[in-house]
Amino acid sequence: MPEPLYRRIAEDLLRRIESGEMSPGSQLPTELDLRESYGASRNTVRDALKWLITRGLVETRPGQGTFVVEEIDPFITTLSADPETGLGGGEGAAYLSEVRATGREPEATVPRVEIHQASGVVAAELRVDEATSVVSRHQRRLIDHTPYSLQTSFYPMDLVTRGATKLIEAADIEEGTVSYLSRTLGIKQAGYRDMITVRAPDRNETAFFKLPDNGRVAVFENFRTAFDQQGKPFRLTVTVYPADRNEFVINVGDVPARALRPGRPGAGGRRPGGQDSVSGSVGRNSREGLA
């Protein structure tokens, strides 16, 4: 009772991909060729390809063929505060310089400003009633002309009426909103809390990030709530990052300057699935529940 045929075909192709026999970007034999070489029906071959597709190893292009996927050069966002500027990390103002520091070219759209009534999460995080008006500022961000993240910040409308009128202008706030709010209203960012989750992309995200519509690539979602000196939240920033091109770093305490990713983890070529990996080794004679 061996494994089903489509699995055996998939595993064989997997082996050939991981061994380097088929390199990233190269084309696999056509479905009809595979049908012959494995002596299976075309549908079975397609089942094998689907198995590889959901694992992100290959992609199909109608009219062209099936290809080994090429990895995207990931961008690393540091979520903890910059020891220099004191605060920040992956946010609007700092974004452009952070990306440029890696020798890549950042782009960000002009903020799209909207006025909403605070809904569930926004109201809860900003600690305002659900009826309250909030300002949202939304930006799409790219690196080397590839979409890398979507960011939306929410501010209580209160801040605008108290004088921070630039918040409702559809233009960049060059100095950064932290600096701007400090200067105009005396609101200082004393700290922030990030809440990170992973979920499937929605329709908009799939379209903007050009993700395969098979729901394979997940997105990070980071909810950042910024607090002032009194511990009062004054901003909620929601940023969405496709997981196939983004990584995160958090520095706590005294950490030596990064040696610019000597050998980036995560990468290191394709992972040999099945062997004991760095983290794995969950018991070679596994399957025993717990001790």
Partner DNA sequence: GCAAATTTGTTCGTATGTATT
Partner DNA sequence: CAATACATACGAACAAATTTG
State which of positions 43-82 bind DNA (CB under 7 A): 43-44, 46-47, 49, 60-66
Reference 123, options 165, 162, 92, 154; nearest CA is 154
Residues of this chain, 220-249, that bind DNA according to CB under 7 A: none
∠141-147-152 over CA atoms, to 5°?
40
Are the beta carbons of 133 and 98 closer than 8 angstroms? no
Please give the Cα distance from 211 to 72 (Å, whole number): 12
Please give the Cα distance from 132 to 35 (Å, whole number): 61
Reference 58, options 22, 111, 33; nearest CA is 22
Residue 23, contacted partner among its own copies, DNA, none, CB below 5-8 A by kind: none
Terminal-to-terminal C-alpha distance of the chain: 31
**Stretches 18-26, 61-69, 178-186, 213-221: which one binds its own copies (CB under 8 A)?**
213-221
Are the beta carbons of 240 and 217 closer than 8 angstroms? no
Give min distance, CB of 40 to its own copies, in A: 17
Residue 47, contacted partner among its own copies, DNA, none, CB below 5-8 A by kind: DNA
Out of 30, 144, 215, 235, point to the residue binding its own copies (CB under 8 A): 215
Residue 229, contacted partner among DNA, its own copies, none, CB below 5-8 A by kind: its own copies
Are the beta carbons of 219 and 245 closer than 8 angstroms? no
Q: In which element (H, E) is residue 191 found? A: strand 191-199
Residues of this chain, 2-41, that bind DNA according to CB under 7 A: 4-7, 28, 30-32, 39-41
Give min distance, CB of 43 to DNA, in A: 4
Out of 102, 117, 179, 251, point to the residue binding its own copies (CB under 8 A): 251
Q: Is residue 256 near its own copies by the rule CB under 8 A?
A: yes
188: its two tokens: 């200082």
Out of 5, 69, 94, 142, point to the residue binding its own copies (CB under 8 A): 142
Q: Is 222 helix (H, G, I), strand (E, B) or coil?
A: strand
Give min distance, CB of 81 to DNA, in A: 45
Residues of this chain, 173-192, that bind its own copies according to CB under 8 A: 189-192
Which phi and psi angles does 148 have, rounded to 5°? -120, -25
Residue 208, contacted partner among its own copies, DNA, none, CB below 5-8 A by kind: its own copies
Residues that bind DNA (CB under 7 A): 1, 4-7, 28, 30-32, 39-44, 46-47, 49, 60-66
